[in-house]
Amino acid sequence: GRARRERAAHELADERQVFICGGAQIYAQALPLCEELFLTLVKREVTGDAFFPPFEDRFELVEELRDTPEFKILHYRRRG
Protein backbone atom coordinates (compact mmCIF):
# COMPACT_ATOMS: atom_id res chain seq x y z
CA GLY A 1 0.00 0.00 0.00
CA ARG A 2 0.88 3.65 0.33
CA ALA A 3 2.94 3.21 3.52
CA ARG A 4 5.07 0.61 1.77
CA ARG A 5 5.68 2.94 -1.20
CA GLU A 6 6.65 5.76 1.16
CA ARG A 7 9.14 3.52 3.00
CA ALA A 8 10.64 2.42 -0.31
CA ALA A 9 10.94 6.05 -1.47
CA HIS A 10 12.75 7.03 1.74
CA GLU A 11 15.13 4.07 1.43
CA LEU A 12 15.94 4.97 -2.18
CA ALA A 13 16.40 8.65 -1.35
CA ASP A 14 18.87 7.78 1.39
CA GLU A 15 21.07 6.16 -1.26
CA ARG A 16 20.61 8.37 -4.33
CA GLN A 17 18.60 11.05 -6.07
CA VAL A 18 15.14 9.84 -7.13
CA PHE A 19 13.14 11.28 -10.04
CA ILE A 20 9.36 10.85 -10.15
CA CYS A 21 7.48 10.98 -13.44
CA GLY A 22 3.76 11.21 -12.61
CA GLY A 23 0.59 11.06 -13.22
CA ALA A 24 -1.18 13.54 -11.02
CA GLN A 25 -1.91 11.04 -8.24
CA ILE A 26 1.70 9.88 -8.06
CA TYR A 27 2.88 13.50 -7.86
CA ALA A 28 0.37 14.26 -5.09
CA GLN A 29 1.50 11.24 -3.07
CA ALA A 30 5.21 11.93 -3.56
CA LEU A 31 5.24 15.71 -3.04
CA PRO A 32 5.32 15.55 0.80
CA LEU A 33 8.46 13.38 0.54
CA CYS A 34 10.36 15.77 -1.75
CA GLU A 35 13.06 18.20 -0.69
CA GLU A 36 13.69 19.52 -4.21
CA LEU A 37 11.66 19.77 -7.41
CA PHE A 38 12.93 19.95 -10.97
CA LEU A 39 9.90 21.00 -13.02
CA THR A 40 9.48 21.33 -16.76
CA LEU A 41 7.01 24.08 -17.60
CA VAL A 42 5.69 23.57 -21.12
CA LYS A 43 4.76 26.90 -22.74
CA ARG A 44 1.57 25.69 -24.33
CA GLU A 45 -2.10 25.55 -23.42
CA VAL A 46 -3.15 21.92 -23.10
CA THR A 47 -6.65 20.64 -22.48
CA GLY A 48 -6.76 18.18 -19.61
CA ASP A 49 -8.11 17.36 -16.19
CA ALA A 50 -4.96 16.17 -14.38
CA PHE A 51 -2.48 18.72 -13.05
CA PHE A 52 0.61 18.91 -10.85
CA PRO A 53 -0.56 19.65 -7.29
CA PRO A 54 -0.13 23.11 -5.74
CA PHE A 55 3.34 23.42 -4.21
CA GLU A 56 4.32 27.11 -4.22
CA ASP A 57 3.56 27.63 -0.53
CA ARG A 58 6.03 24.87 0.45
CA PHE A 59 8.82 25.38 -2.10
CA GLU A 60 10.83 28.36 -3.34
CA LEU A 61 12.39 28.85 -6.76
CA VAL A 62 16.16 28.35 -6.54
CA GLU A 63 17.09 28.79 -10.19
CA GLU A 64 15.85 28.69 -13.74
CA LEU A 65 17.97 26.01 -15.37
CA ARG A 66 16.78 26.52 -18.93
CA ASP A 67 14.43 28.81 -20.84
CA THR A 68 13.54 28.03 -24.44
CA PRO A 69 10.61 29.15 -26.60
CA GLU A 70 8.93 25.78 -25.94
CA PHE A 71 9.65 25.12 -22.24
CA LYS A 72 11.41 26.12 -19.02
CA ILE A 73 13.18 23.89 -16.51
CA LEU A 74 12.88 25.21 -12.96
CA HIS A 75 14.59 24.09 -9.75
CA TYR A 76 12.70 24.50 -6.47
CA ARG A 77 13.77 23.72 -2.89
CA ARG A 78 11.52 23.06 0.12
CA ARG A 79 11.18 26.11 2.38
CA GLY A 80 12.86 26.07 5.81
- Residue 17, pLDDT > 90, answer no
Question: How many Å apart are CA 52 and CA 79, to the nearest integer?
Answer: 18
- Residue 7, pLDDT > 80, answer no
Strands 59-67 and 36-42: what pairing? Answer: unpaired
pLDDT tens digit sequence for 28-74: 988 988 999 999 999 999 898 888 999 999 999 999 999 999 999 99
Question: How many Å apart are CA 68 and CA 71, to the nearest integer?
Answer: 5
**Domains in the chain: ranges and CATH:** 2-78 (3.40.430.10)
